[in-house]
Chain A
Amino acid sequence: MRRSFLLSAAIPAVAAMALAGCASEADTTASSASPSPSTSQDCSPETMQTLTPGTLTIGTDTPAYPPYFEDDDPTNGKGFESAVAYAVADQLGFSNDQVTWVTVPFNKSYAPGDKDFDFDINQISITAKRQKAVDFSDGYYTVNQAVVALKDSPIADATTLTELRESKLGAQVGTTSLDFITNDIQPTQEPLVYNDTNDAKSALEAGQIDGIVVDLPTAYYVTAVEFDNAKIVGQFPAQDGDEQFGLLMAKGSPLVTCVNQALTALKDSGELQSIQDEWLVGKDAPYFTE
């Protein structure tokens, strides 16, 4: 009994090893043949190595929140990131019906293995550490962090980061807003961390935290549309004055050059700025001093 069991286990194992050997060889040839990024590249739906030829597959998380998306529907072209995504697609020569959207939870966007999107647009900040795992496009939006508090909060009138130090702050997990709290504000109390901005808002209303830290466009949306009794206490550049949202692509993606060319063209023509002016309004929140 036992011997035959070992034998029967060994046969598929050997077969699998042989398969694994083939697969790894195939992989090395594939990676050595991948194109090196060049300064100018022919970018059109016919030549670009997209996931599905002739189609641009774009990922974002769900629910997709305003002001980046409207009505939790990225396909309607409404909201800043939906508009940017379609502008990039258009620049690359993809018509609107050649664009498909897939849901990509943030935690999954950087998983190893094949991606199911050509690029992911989900307010993802470009950082050097993240670039070890994925490729980013050039930034399409420079973002500041902002503190939102209820109008009767003890920190409602704070003007310096020092005044925030004694407060209890909250932020969404995985955001640079949280990094901003721990690295720049350095509060004496441990910050509270939430799955999403909605939970952070619940905690703010319940009085469990004095303020929440979100990116500035979200802060405007929260205070203008969702909360009557809240205000933006102030804004602050999170990473030495230059934190940018970028389009996330697989490490070594052949599309990076083309996407960057499209973004550069959109910046040069002023189209990116006009999309920003249309969807992200209000920039007059006071700046915190140290």
Chain B
Amino acid sequence: MTTPAEAPLEAPTIPYVDPVRRARARARGRRDGLIASVSTVVVFAILAYLITSSPGWPKVQETFFNVDEAISAWPSLIKAFVLNIKIFLVAEFFILILSLLIALGRGLRAPVALPVRILSTVYVDFFRGVPTILVILLLGFGVPALQLKGVTNSPVVWGTVALILSYTAYVAEVYRAGIESIHPSQRAAARSLGLSSVQTTRYVVLPQAVRRVVPPLLNDFIALQKETALVSLLGPIEVLRSAQIDASANFNYTAYVVAALLFVAITLPLTRFTDWLQRRDTRRRMAGAM
């Protein structure tokens, strides 16, 4: 037995496995892999055959999956998609900050902070209940119609503001769930060590809470990416509107399919990233239990 100081840290975490069992496990793994591939290929082949051999398929292919249409629609779609990305990035930045403030406001327990709590609660209740589409129309057409001096009437700006208002309410609730999931003993322990209430929130509660809610946060942002299309109600040509223009000029829906692929193309990395974060988090939290 070596002394603890000399023991390599990794050594005890590699469990001893009987070589025979290991070989068996490997064989089973190969067989499972084979069955999985065969079943996947068969199922997809049958699906593909069923769809492409159906009587209406040539017409559907012509209307939804037309390569020439896709190529001719591509330049205007990609140009319009830049607007979606811009709206998304700006909105996400403000949402992250504002919703955290709202969530903290709702969590205030000091008697003097009651008005803040009431306001935050009313805000969340209201904007979660009202359809985003109404907020967009109200701000996008309503505010400019007031003809206030010095206030922009840009539909893109007001559409983005509406998205921020609406999504801040959702994201604030995600944050709040995270904050409330932190066990009160954490706060009590931090206070007993002499940290102030603000310091406790900042250094003990929030870091744990935010880590916990990263997957649902990303989920909301993926939804937000798609909701940017609602801004088109106010006139700006974003990718779905661009697809609609193309579709109605040519009586062909292919442009919608291309627009959908563009959305998938940017949400996929984000989805995979969320999965990875979740796995890493689980691994870390389980590390002590192993």
* Chain A residues within 8 Å of B59, by CB: 112-113
Q: Is the CB of B233 within 8 A of A199?
A: yes
* Chain B residues within 8 Å of A267, by CB: none
Q: How far, in angstroms, from A152 to B270 measured CA to CA in the complex?
A: 49
Q: Is the CB of A208 within 8 A of B62?
A: no
Q: Is the CB of A205 within 8 A of B145?
A: yes
Total A-B pairs, Cβ < 8 A: 110
B235 interface neighbour in A17, A113, A209, Cβ under 8 Å: A209
* Most central of B60, B232, B249 by chain A CB within 10 Å: B249
* Chain A residues within 8 Å of B253, by CB: 111
Stretch binding the partner chain, chosen from B85-93, B172-180, B211-219, B237-245: B237-245
Give the bracket for the number of chain B residues in contact with chain A: 35 or more
Q: Is the CB of A190 within 8 A of B237?
A: yes
Q: How far, in angstroms, from A13 to B237 measured CA to CA in the complex?
A: 43
Q: Is the CB of A107 within 8 A of B56?
A: no
* Chain A residues within 8 Å of B244, by CB: 107, 173-174
Closest partner residue, chain A, to B248 (CB atom): A174
Q: Is the CB of B250 within 8 A of A129?
A: yes
Q: Is the CB of A6 within 8 A of B39?
A: yes
A106 within 8 A of B: yes
Closest partner residue, chain B, to A12 (CB atom): B46
Q: In chain A between 138 and 184, which residues have their CB closer than 8 angstroms to a CB of chain B?
A: 170, 173-174, 178-179
* Chain A residues within 8 Å of B43, by CB: 9
16 A–B contacts, CB within 8 A, in A order: A10-B42, A20-B50, A20-B53, A107-B248, A110-B251, A130-B250, A132-B251, A133-B63, A174-B244, A178-B245, A179-B249, A199-B141, A208-B144, A208-B153, A208-B154, A208-B155
Known: A20-B53, A173-B241, A203-B155. 17 other contacts (CB 8 A): A13-B46, A16-B50, A129-B249, A130-B251, A132-B252, A133-B63, A133-B251, A133-B252, A174-B248, A193-B232, A194-B233, A195-B233, A202-B145, A206-B153, A207-B147, A208-B154, A208-B155
Q: List 9 tightest A-B contacts by C-beta distance, closest first.
A: A192-B235, A174-B248, A133-B251, A206-B144, A110-B251, A27-B55, A112-B59, A206-B145, A202-B141
Chain A contact residues, CB within 8 Å of chain B: 2, 6, 9-10, 13, 16-17, 20-21, 23-24, 26-27, 106-107, 110-113, 127, 129-130, 132-134, 170, 173-174, 178-179, 190-195, 199, 202-203, 205-209
